[in-house]
Amino acid sequence: MKTPPLIPWPLLVAAAVAILAAVYVSTGHASVFDYAWQKTRPAAPQPWLHVEVSDTDRVCRDQGASTMYLGRINACATWAPTHCIIYLPANAPRWLIEHEEKHCEGWTHP
């Protein structure tokens, strides 16, 4: 009878892949967030208002945001020629803030 290996290699490899994937996503490099950005309007004048909300999905849907590829909306920006308001969750990661600020700069994505 063959004895099992002392080191569970498949489990260790799976854990390493999961950790690397989490780091990749947390730094804003997930493929679902790779958009074909298009400059469609001028930048809204600054300062842009950053509003922290407890339920970004509800607030952003109320503002007319679409879910795109995600089932839940994590943040959104409402652009206007005179201002821009960014709705974010508490402790939003930098990449999410930068994504919404890009909308305030006049960029859109499909």
Distance between CA atoms of residues 41 and 107, nearest Å: 7
Question: Is the pLDDT score of 14 beyond 60?
Answer: no
Count the helix, strand and coil residues of the chain and give each as a percent rounded to the nearest 5: 35, 15, 45
pLDDT-derived band at 36 (thresholds 50, 70, 90) equals: confident
Q: Across-strand partners of 52?
A: 88
Stretch 79-107: mean pLDDT, rounded? 96
Stretch 63-74: mean pLDDT, rounded? 80
Residue with tokens 């206007």: 80
- Residue 22 in tokens: 């989490």
Tell me the residue type at 107: W
| Beta-strand runs (E) in the chain | 38-39, 49-52, 76-80, 83-88, 107-108
Question: Is the pLDDT score of 65 beyond 60?
Answer: yes
Distance between CA atoms of residues 2 and 90, nearest Å: 53
Residue with tokens 């952003």: 60
Cβ 77 vs Cβ 104: under 8 Å: yes
pLDDT-derived band at 70 (thresholds 50, 70, 90) equals: low
